[in-house]
Amino acid sequence: MKDSVLIVEDEKDTRFILEKLLSRNSYDVVSAVNGQEALEVLKTFSPKVILADWTMPVLDGLALCNILKNDEKHKLIYFIILTARSSLKDRIMGLDVGADDFLIKPVENQELLARIRSGIRIYNLQSELRNIEHSKAVIEMACTMGHKINNPLSSLIFSMKNLENEIAQEDKSKFAEDIASVNESIERIKTFVNELIHLKNPEVVNYTGEKRMIKTN
């Protein structure tokens, strides 16, 4: 699967050159002419790196960066600003809104490709760390749920045993099917609780419609 890059550039010739360069180097490339159009593109396209010009009409690169870095869904995207501005003040301004890197125009092709490769490595590492943290949180939640269910389950098992002992021998045949059904349900709950408590590799899967569930095995 190709790594994905979004180019946000209002100058047609520059945009064309960047598209050709990245496509030739096996990137999945989509372009937008300004920040506002980029926000629309991001509804259906998930880049690892955004390469955006600072100065653009409607919504410039810095404003776009500020929006995305404050959005939980897009904050991990590695954001590279393309600019003719080279002053320290401008760089500080860009860093303050969350830009990950700067490239001064005109850009040397090999340097651009190296920065993109670096950005993709950083994106992949951050995504992996986020997945680890998510899995850890799910495991802790599942373990807590398992223990909370286990306590009333123990009481249910104890009460069921007492109930079976209290029913006269001659009446047990009348309730045999119900007793078997309850005991079967108890065993299923015990199995589920054990899976929750010992969950190690949680996987979130689509269930029905928009519902998602944790797969325990």
| Sign, CA torsion 15/18/23/27 | negative
Inside any domain, residue 46: yes
Largest CA distance in the chain: 94
Residue bearing the bigger pLDDT, 10 or 163: 10
Mean pLDDT of the region 45-70 = 94
Q: Are residues 17 and 99 in the same domain?
A: yes
Domain count, the chain: 2
pLDDT classification of 198: cutoffs 50, 70, 90: low
CB 118 within 8 A of CB 169: no
**What CATH number did the domain enclosing 15 receive?**
3.40.50.2300
Peptide bond into 106 cis (omega under 30): yes
Q: What is the pLDDT of residues 19-39, one digit of tens each?
A: 999 999 999 999 999 999 999
Residue 152, in any domain of the structure: yes
CATH number at residue 174: 1.10.287
Confidence of residue 166 (pLDDT cuts 50, 70, 90): confident
Report pLDDT digits (tens) over 97-146: 788 998 888 889 999 999 999 999 999 988 887 776 666 666 666 667 66
